[in-house]
Amino acid sequence: MWFFTDEEKELQRVCRDFARNELAPFAEKHDTDETFNMDAFRKMGEIGVLGITASPDFGGAGMGCTAATLVMEEFGKACASSTLSYLAHAILTINNIENNASPEQKEKYLPKLISGEHIGCMGMSEPEYGSDALGMQTKAENKGDHYLLNGTKMWITNAQYADIAYVYARTGKNKKDISTFILEKDKGHFSFGKPIHKMGMRASPTGELIFDNAKIPPQNRVGEENQSTYHMLKNLDIERITISGISVGIAQACLDQCVKYAGERKQFGKTIGSFQMIQRMIAEMAAEVGMMRSFIYQVAYEFDQGNHGPVQAAKVKLAIPKLATKIALDAIQVHGGYGYSREFPVERMMRDNKLMEIGAGTNEIMILIIAKNLLSITE
């Protein structure tokens, strides 16, 4: 994009090379085996992208939403699963701590998270509360010298590997009485439930976090008690923009694969790229990917300029993953029977992208956010 800084362009180059060498060659195997590419994750710390939005004081890159989206796109082209785990660590955990924690908490937790020595996750959704996040039932009772934490978090990316969990819990009687806690696995603050086996994003570990009378020191609470609703909703904006960057990467990878396949596959004595129906599908894909990229980076740029808010993030999150799913389905069609098989990666890309229409807020929730704003509906 025309507004990318030299630093962002260099980041794009570094991430593209990393994805080509460390993610792409192993994506199929990790998807098949449902295993986590731990080696690549640790190396993300070495190249300095785990703390993409965190302060350099703690080893971070000190960059913004545009830079984080660039990482998502470049990694997403190669392995969307690894990229989702990256997002849960870099945006849901590190970015939250960077923006909301005390200086002492940042100094304690950020360096090891940014280096990749520790892996982070974030706990918001629960077995009975997904879209209705404020309905959460996980409770932290203030006992004076500690909080007593009980409940379960569900659909947690990186759960089984997490050293640190950034968790929201109810601490009062009102619906918005939510507080945040930084939990440590080594202190016995949480345990893991069953792993969740998914249709896509199979190389991104997903599971439950369980809290059973866990004693949490007051110094592990982030900010004031009952004051975390604003922080929780605010971080959703950058999450929804950046996670949509994975869809841009998936769509570009589908397009690249189709161009290659159409130039090699022959039917009726000529390459299928010579047929107008195939040409039309690929041309439309190219135009759609261009629209996706222009939209997401414009919104990311505006976010970095201080134009925050849920509506633009919701528009990105609604439009881009839906279009990427359409592109992935078209890519399968271009490949015919091979596209429906595991001989080519487009079926994996379609499976992976479907999560983008569900995680970080379903399409239906995005529609509600946008419509209520346009129609000035208040509750």
Domain tally, the chain: 3
In this predicted structure, the answer to whether residue 379 has a pLDDT above a threshold of 70 is: no
One domain, residues 241 and 149: no
One domain, residues 168 and 276: no
Active-site residues: which are they? 239
One domain, residues 17 and 74: yes
pLDDT at 131: 86
Helices and strands in the chain: count of H runs, count of E runs: 13, 10
DSSP 246-313: HHHHHHHHHHHHHHHHHHH-EETTEEGGGSHHHHHHHHHHHHHHHHHHHHHHHHHHHHHTT---HHHH
Residue at 95 is within a domain: yes
In the chain, DSSP assigns E strands to 120-123, 139-142, 147-157, 164-170, 178-184, 191-195, 206-216, 221-222, 266-267, 270-271
* Mean per-residue pLDDT, 327-335: 98
One domain, residues 11 and 140: no
**Neighbour tally for 331: CB within 10 Å:** 28
CB distance 331 to 285 below 8 Å: yes
One domain, residues 317 and 367: yes
One domain, residues 237 and 358: yes
pLDDT in tens, 17-30: 999 999 999 999 99
Cβ neighbors of 354 (< 8 A, separation 6 or more) are: 199, 200, 325
Q: Which domain holds residue 237?
A: 230-374
pLDDT in tens, 102-137: 999 999 999 999 999 999 999 999 999 988 888 999
Residue at 59 is within a domain: yes
In this predicted structure, the answer to whether residue 1 has a pLDDT above a threshold of 80 is: no
Residue at 222 is within a domain: yes
pLDDT in tens, 151-186: 999 999 999 999 999 999 999 999 999 999 999 999
Largest Cα span, the chain: 79
**Which two structure tokens, joined as six digits, stand for 101?**
């924690």
